[in-house]
Chains A and B, each alone.
Chain A
């Protein structure tokens, strides 16, 4: 008979809790022998189980009872309350399972501690704080303890690498030609593909994706030659990958959770010099196989886009997606998209709500520390009225016809005052502009028209680089610009900065 029997009882009968909620219950301890214990400790953590080696989250410790004497026959009932984490969520798959646990141990000195562990289910609740509305890059939410490498260790590593470098110099004579051949082959292969398809621009604006939502995918290129394609397609796959053992004893097994193919363009001839611009909305499945990236257990969602060319190497590019509960992206959805979702495109008729009513985007910038000017606080001198009116008109038009493009064409070249609230600044790549090469080495400013949620992309002139490079996210910049085109994938207006 053990020294005591431990029973963990949850207040929720089905043991189902939501991220950020309090997990409550009672620990019942039936003492079978007299013992002096150093305390009763509860720990909570998540852990994987299944085919792969175990991955485990940080343990959070709660002291339930201080050091005490327990007498045989005594029965203790100790309530507990812990905060459920927001991530990762419970998952039961084929090779990978992830569960959250409450573990209780009676700390008995110089003896094996009586202990008990029970799992509970954690479903999507409060999104982790890292979700601030940005969806263009994978968000790191599985944090690890920083590795503390001491100074001496660093010196040793540097010394070892230096020594290895000297040893490897003779080997370089053998390996460098092999590497050159390999790199040459890869570059040759890429050149061969580029000689047909030219430069391909793949647009996946959202890599953080919610279950059950639709995400846009676009591909744009101008073939250098006329050639036949089997099709242009995109394949969405989700794979569990679990590693068991280590070294030569390790085995990694994969299990496909989801696989679906979407056709962007059917078989046919592509004409050299004629731009191909295809877009498709990819429906994400209603799955609970949330992205996971632990050392031995991974759930990976990938969107692979391919130009399938018969009897020729295919062009392809893979984009890793971060698949999360719909709630995580809906709660933080950028307002331009929210605006569309709320109003619906086809029957959109009302002008967009005033800035004060369309606040959600600003969540990331509402920190007390943040001191950049916001659109509300900023007193602009540029008259944004005409360009806002144009955007309202475009957004009111049907999304699925050519109406938006036609409206944009009617205003193409027309100068506008523009105060842009900057989201990011990047180098312009491969953009010639409508008048010479003034934009080729310039910058691309992505943001919103100040005081609204209307998204715009502004190509700035080379001579403005010094000014534009100083712009920070959230700041407002005033200039004059002309309309060039409507970007239907991102639902934004493309503009060029005017001279002077």
Chain B
């Protein structure tokens, strides 16, 4: 028995599941402007998109910039209390109850929402300044190549060569999965499992 993925100079499959901390650390999203805007208590930003497009990654990335942020992920079929903190970040905000939504939208703290449903008009009714980011729309090939190769670099075992994901592969995957990063990751997970020597993927 050998150490895992030692033949590829890696410690594990880079396209497997990451911890929340790793996801935030490895996220390649530009949220600096949004971070600045969050100093306004009336500001609300919502990341809208389908499953696997990167809503949670955006939220986790922003969370690392705000040590006082209140963050909650609401699992399916469950309710969660709205956390305190500033700003308040709600992942899967479409699962808030009507009463929670009303109270939260009318509060005076900046909001960050990850949601399948667009709440722009509802937020505006409460006098919020709203920004909507449709995740997945602006994901370029170069950014995805960077994202994938950063993941590989993160699990490097020692100095020397490691596998690399090429632009051609990402273009092919975009043709199949569009902006669904999670779909791409699973395909690459399988490919790396079968990779016998250090090579371009």
Contacts and interface: CB of A to CB of B under 8 A. Distances in A.
Interface of A: 15-16, 49-54, 90, 92, 94, 97, 99, 119, 121, 123, 244-249, 253, 288
A51 B19 contact: no
Contacts of A54: 17, 19
B11 interface: yes
A246 B1 contact: no
Nearest to B190: A94
Contacts of A97: 4, 12-13
Given A247-B92, A249-B51, A50 B17 contact: yes
Contacts of A248: 51, 76, 92
For the residues of B in contact with A, the DSSP-based class is: loop
Nearest to A92: B4
Which of the listed residues A50, A99, A123, A288 has the most CB atoms from chain B within 10 Å of its own CB? Answer: A50
Contacts of A15: 3
B4 A244 contact: no
19 contacts: A16-B1, A49-B16, A49-B17, A50-B17, A52-B16, A52-B17, A54-B19, A94-B193, A97-B12, A99-B4, A119-B3, A123-B1, A246-B73, A246-B76, A247-B74, A247-B78, A248-B51, A248-B92, A249-B51
Contacts of A94: 193
Nearest to B92: A247
B158 to A, nearest CB: 11
B189 interface: yes
B1 A51 contact: no
Nearest to A50: B16
| Nearest 3 interchain pairs by C-beta | A247-B76, A247-B75, A49-B12
For the residues of A in contact with B, the DSSP-based class is: mixed
Given A99-B4, A247-B73, 12 more contacts: A49-B16, A50-B17, A51-B13, A52-B17, A97-B4, A121-B1, A247-B78, A248-B51, A248-B76, A248-B92, A249-B51, A253-B186
Nearest to A248: B76
A410 to B, nearest CB: 53
A246 B75 contact: yes
Contacts of A90: 1
Contacts of A249: 51-52, 56
Contacts of B3: 15, 119, 121
Contacts of B12: 49-50, 97
B4 A119 contact: yes
Nearest to A96: B16
A289 to B, nearest CB: 13
Contacts of B11: 119
A189 B51 CA distance: 40
A50 B19 CA distance: 12
A8 B198 CA distance: 25
Nearest to A122: B1
B51 to A, nearest CB: 6
Interface string B78-100: 10000000000000100000000
B177 to A, nearest CB: 14
B132 to A, nearest CB: 21
Nearest to A288: B1
Interface string B42-76: 00000000011000100000000000000001111
A52 B3 CA distance: 19
A51 B16 contact: yes
Interface in B1-40: 1, 3-4, 11-13, 16-17, 19
Interface in B154-201: 186, 189, 193
Contacts of B189: 51
Nearest to A91: B1
Contacts of B4: 49, 92, 97, 99, 119
Contacts of B73: 246-247
Contacts of A52: 16-17
A247 B73 CA distance: 10
Nearest to B95: A247
A51 B51 contact: no
Contact of A49 (B13, B75, B77, B186): B13
A53 B20 CA distance: 10
Contact of B17 (A99, A123, A244, A247): A244
Which of the listed residues A15, A49, A99 has the most CB atoms from chain B within 10 Å of its own CB? Answer: A49
Contacts of B16: 49-52
A455 B78 CA distance: 53
A244 B19 CA distance: 11
B76 A51 contact: no
Contacts of B1: 16, 90, 92, 121, 123, 288
Nearest to A249: B51
A362 B9 CA distance: 49
Nearest to A90: B1
Nearest to B74: A247
Contacts of B77: 247
B126 to A, nearest CB: 27
Which of the listed residues B1, B11, B78, B186 has the most CB atoms from chain A within 10 Å of its own CB? Answer: B1
Contacts of B193: 94
Nearest to B22: A54
Nearest to B11: A119
Given A92-B4, A248-B76, A50 B92 contact: no
A16 B6 CA distance: 14
B145 to A, nearest CB: 22
A249 B57 CA distance: 13
A55 to B, nearest CB: 11
B194 to A, nearest CB: 10
Nearest to A242: B17
Contacts of A123: 1
B75 A51 contact: no
Contacts of A50: 12-13, 16-17
B92 A51 contact: no
A243 B199 CA distance: 28
A290 to B, nearest CB: 13
A52 B17 CA distance: 6
A253 B12 CA distance: 18
A248 B92 CA distance: 10
Contacts of B78: 247
A96 to B, nearest CB: 10
Which of the listed residues A16, A247, A288 has the most CB atoms from chain B within 10 Å of its own CB? Answer: A247
Nearest to B116: A248
